[in-house]
Structure 1
């Protein structure tokens, strides 16, 4: 996931992204950013809300609730005073091309 340096919320989005690097898929033990599961970050300063759009490797992922809850908590811990919402999206469909070079190395690919 790339964040445009000219984005007015660049600093906050980078903090969110850094927090999400600490959220790991419990089965693979690789963070959700390097797995390519995080698609977008939205910041609403007025309402003190953060919303991320992310996906899972499959709709039937048995640990989806755990992963999304960990993401929400990580964001709220990083951006004190903000409420986080994690929205699961299924388009574009996740595939192995989403995995970063770091994620591929961790998976031995």
Structure 2
């Protein structure tokens, strides 16, 4: 699960990016990628945004749809920024990475 430190110089921009990513829904689970805990880090500069994230499995059949969703969501709020999605497989995603809201949406206690 992503943690944005309040003393981060890009705090406001990273929070805005994270809020935009709530719009990106995993098409199989119908939960956004933030509440699923798929986003590990956000790197922001004046003209680039890099999202470091994972998928629920390395062979996720809808991975392209999710990464395209990230690009689409960020292009609305950050026009002119180059957006890169970097998929990583460590740490391996598991249900414990989900937020309380994500677990609630999936009916996990």
Same fold (TM over 0.5): yes
Structure 1 length as normaliser, TM-score? 0.95
Partner residue in 1 for 2:88: 89
TM, length-normalised to structure 2: 0.95
Which residue in the other structure is 1:105 paired with? Answer: 104
Structure (1/2) with the larger strand percentage: 1
1:35 is matched with 36
Stretches of structure 2 lacking an aligned partner (at least 5 in a row):
none
The count of residues paired between Structure 1 and Structure 2 equals 107
- 1:80 positional shift: 2.1
Does 1:72 pair with 2:71? Answer: yes
List alignment gaps of at least 5 residues for structure 1: none
Q: Distance in 1 between matches of 2:99 and 2:50?
A: 22
Counterpart-to-counterpart distance in 2, 1:76 and 1:39: 20
Q: Is the 8 A contact 1:15 1:79 kept in 2?
A: no
Partner deviation per Cα, 1:35-92 (whole Å, 9 max, x = no partner): 00000000121xx000010000101100000000101111121112211111100011
